[in-house]
Copies of this chain bind each other. A is one copy, B any other.
Amino acid sequence: MSCKVYKGNIIFTPTLHAFEVMENGYVAVDENGIIEGVYHDIPKEITEWEVVDFGNKLLIPGMYDLHVHAPQYRNQGMAMDMELLPWLEKYTFPEEAKYKDTEYARVMYNHFVKDMLSEGTLRASVFATIHPEATKLLAHIFHEAGMGAMIGLVGMDRNCPDIIRNTAQDVVADTRSIADEVRDMPLVSAIVTPRFVPSCTPQMLEALGRLTEELQLPVQSHLSENKSEIAWVKELEPESSCYADAYYRYGLLGQTPTLMAHCVYSDDKEMEMLKSGNVFVVHCPTSNCNVASGIAPIRKYLDAGIPVALGSDISGGHHLSIFRMMQYAQQMSKLKYAETDGKMAFLSLSEVFFLATKSGGSFFGKAGSFEKGYDFDALVIDDAPLNEANTEAGAEPYTLEQRLERFVYLGDNRLIEHRFVKGRHL
Question: Could you tell me if A405 and B107 are in contact, using CB atoms closer than 8 angstroms?
Answer: no
Question: Could you tell me if B77 and A409 are in contact, using CB atoms closer than 8 angstroms?
Answer: yes
Shortest beta-carbon distance from A414 to chain B in Å: 8
Closest B residue by C-beta to A341? B227
**Alpha-carbon distance between A79 and B396 when the two chains are bound, in angstroms:** 15
**Alpha-carbon distance between A414 and B408 when the two chains are bound, in angstroms:** 18
Residues 51-104 of A contacting B (Cβ, < 8 Å): 73-74, 76-81, 98, 104
The interface centre, meaning the residue of A79, A331, A349, A390 with most chain B CB atoms within 10 A of its CB, is A331
Question: Could you tell me if A81 and B348 are in contact, using CB atoms closer than 8 angstroms?
Answer: yes
Closest B residue by C-beta to A336? B292
With a CB–CB cut-off of 8 A, which chain B residues contact A349? 81
**Alpha-carbon distance between A338 and B286 when the two chains are bound, in angstroms:** 14
Partner pick for A295 among B73, B76, B290, B335, CB 8 A cutoff: B335
Shortest beta-carbon distance from A343 to chain B in Å: 12
Q: How many residues of A contact B (CB 8 A)?
A: 55
> Does A214 belong to the interface (CB within 8 Å)?
no
> Does A49 belong to the interface (CB within 8 Å)?
no
Question: Could you tell me if A289 and B341 are in contact, using CB atoms closer than 8 angstroms?
Answer: no
With a CB–CB cut-off of 8 A, which chain B residues contact A290? 331, 334
Shortest beta-carbon distance from A294 to chain B in Å: 4
With a CB–CB cut-off of 8 A, which chain B residues contact A398? 78
With a CB–CB cut-off of 8 A, which chain B residues contact A112? 389
Shortest beta-carbon distance from A77 to chain B in Å: 4
> Does A17 belong to the interface (CB within 8 Å)?
no
Question: Could you tell me if A393 and B108 are in contact, using CB atoms closer than 8 angstroms?
Answer: yes
With a CB–CB cut-off of 8 A, which chain B residues contact A189? none
With A341-B227, A405-B77, A409-B78 as contacts: A331 and B389 at CB distance below 8 Å: no
With A104-B393, A107-B389 as contacts: A294 and B77 at CB distance below 8 Å: no
> Does A424 belong to the interface (CB within 8 Å)?
no
With A331-B289, A393-B108 as contacts: A77 and B406 at CB distance below 8 Å: yes
Shortest beta-carbon distance from A365 to chain B in Å: 31
> Does A293 belong to the interface (CB within 8 Å)?
yes
Sample (19) of A-B pairs whose CB atoms are under 8 Å apart: A74-B390, A74-B393, A76-B406, A77-B405, A78-B398, A78-B402, A80-B409, A81-B348, A81-B349, A98-B395, A104-B395, A107-B389, A107-B393, A289-B331, A292-B335, A292-B337, A292-B346, A293-B338, A318-B409
18 extra interchain contacts, Cβ-Cβ under 8 A, other than A294-B335, A318-B327?
Answer: A77-B386, A77-B405, A77-B410, A78-B405, A80-B330, A98-B395, A107-B393, A108-B393, A289-B331, A289-B334, A289-B335, A290-B331, A291-B334, A292-B337, A319-B409, A319-B410, A335-B335, A339-B339
For the complex of A and B, list the 6 residue pairs with the smallest distance between their C-beta atoms, beginning with the closest. A77-B409, A289-B331, A111-B389, A292-B334, A294-B338, A107-B393
